[in-house]
Amino acid sequence: MDPLSILEPAATRVRDPLSGRSVWLAGLIQDARIDGDTLRFVLAVKKEHGADDRQRLREALLRNLAEKGWTGEIVCTIRVEGVAAAGAPATAASAHDHGHGHTHGAPPAPARDAIKGMSGPGMQPHGGPITKAMPDGVKRIIAVTSGKGGVGKSTVATNLAVALAKLGHKVGLLDADIYGPSLPLMMNLHGKPVGNDKKQIVPIPSHGVRCMSIGLLVDEKEPVIWRGPMVMGVVNQFFKEVDWSDCEWLIVDLPPGTGDAQLTMIQGVPISGGVVVTTPQPVALLDAVRGLEMFRKLDVPILGVVENMSWYDLPGGGKAYPFGEGGGARLATEYGVPLLGQVPLKESIRAGGDAGRPAVLDGEGVFLSIAQKVAKLV
């Protein structure tokens, strides 16, 4: 039995008072496992969580697990985030609940993550603290990544944005791929953005979505030949100097890989969740793993995996799997996250992107389903 499938329904109903998200999406549920009839997991709280907060969260989780039908024993360890000097234990406490609230000694401090130590959220490249700030007017930011180019990440991002707009939400779409912007073509955008009286850039609307891309500011044939600091500066400007007011959702189409643009964004703004796009074959899955690990190491809640180009329908019936079968599902299972959807290989989806008319507008239901799952998770 998968312990995450038991914990997820219970934990998504418990709100973290610090982040405002569920404890599931805030990443507070860790190290879950089942030993016989005992469900064990760690509630990894921060030092800012007071004793009352920790107790309320633990009691809410235990109550929800019982309501969801778990009848076995529960061992909930409360681990308080802390920083230890070399050789010293981290500040931590644990509470093991067997229905009687027993408290035992502190668990050992988790091993230090060298990547987080160098470049985790809250750290500048040279170790100074930074502060995350949500762009004015934005309620939620969803980052769409792939780790590899050519797997349809922009197709998923544009259709996700348009699908959320069709569901009645106010949506913005940011193309953070500075070197290879595709948003102007895929969303049928024309003209240059203008400024408002607050000296902000006004996004260009299309299909009910407000859009911004470096492709709207430079000639479509002009290469962007910039070093990392310039890319990082533009990404920051896209959040701070663009009028995203009254956006319930801001969908960010990240460039492939795990470089400067991704790190700048994740360090600078609070990400509500990340979506990883892959195709079924092993070479794409290998790069998708890097995208998943980037989100995990930088404490971005992973909403799930979208498998693109999963199959194509044969003229006489049946399906063909040119890129293999089931890779996205295996990746989602390995990381304990949902498989949000499998997108078939269809000429209409490709043609919609080339024509600037995302396929969800013409009834491609898989994207609407993905959008509904993302909205429910966040």
**Poorest-pLDDT segment among 109-123, 231-245, 322-336, 357-371:** 109-123
Please answer whether residues 176 and 254 qualify as being in contact, where contact means their C-beta atoms are separated by less than 8 angstroms.
Answer: yes
In angstroms, the CA 53 to CA 18 distance is 10
What is the pLDDT, as a whole number, of residue 346?
Answer: 94
Closest-CA residue to 290 (of 322, 258, 265, 338):
258
Per the CB < 8 A criterion, the answer to whether 212 and 204 are in contact is yes
**What percentage of residues in the chain have a pLDDT greater than 70?**
83
* Sequence-ordered alpha helix ranges (H) in the chain: 3-11, 51-67, 114-119, 153-166, 183-186, 228-240, 260-268, 282-297, 327-335, 347-355, 365-377
Find the mean pLDDT for residues 342-371: 95
Q: What is the band of 172 on the pLDDT scale with cuts at 50, 70, 90?
A: very high
Q: Which residue has the tokens 């009834």?
A: 363
- Residue 361: its pLDDT value, please? 95
CA distances 333 to 170, 279, 294, Å, are 32, 15, 18
Q: Which homologous superfamily is 138-377 in?
A: P-loop containing nucleotide triphosphate hydrolases (3.40.50.300)
122 vs 127: CA distance, rounded Å: 9
Counting Cβ atoms within 10 Å, is residue 5 exposed (0-12), middle (13-18) or buried (19+)? exposed
- pTM for the whole thing? 0.65
Q: Which of 64-68, 168-172, 270-274 has the highest mean pLDDT?
A: 168-172
Which residue would you say has higher pLDDT here, 271 or 96? 271
At residue 114, does pLDDT exceed 50?
no
| Tokens, residue 92 | 């931590």
Is beta strand 29-35 parallel, antiparallel or unpaired with respect to 38-45? antiparallel
Query: For residue 83, what pLDDT is reported?
Result: 36
- What is the Cα–Cα distance from 171 to 155, expressed in whole angstroms? 16
pLDDT the model gives residue 94: 36
Q: Which fold has domain 3-111?
A: GMP Synthetase; Chain A, domain 3 (3.30.300)
**pLDDT the model gives residue 174:** 95
Question: E strands, 155-228, where?
Answer: 171-175, 194-195, 201-202, 204-206, 209-213
Q: What pLDDT, on a 0 to 100 scale, did the predictor assign at position 15? A: 82
Residue 112 has a pLDDT of 37
So where are the chain's domains? 3-111, 138-377
- Identify the pLDDT of residue 319: 93
Q: What is the mean pLDDT of residues 154-183?
A: 94
What are the residues whose beta carbons fall under 8 Å from the beta carbon of 149, sequence distance 6 or more?
180, 256
pLDDT for position 131: 58
**Over 60: is that where the pLDDT of 148 sits?**
yes
Average pLDDT over the chain reads 82
Spatial distance between the Cα atoms of 59 and 97, rounded to a whole number of angstroms: 9
Confidence of residue 305 (pLDDT cuts 50, 70, 90): very high
174-221 confidence digits (pLDDT tens): 998 888 889 999 999 998 889 888 889 999 999 999 999 998 988 777
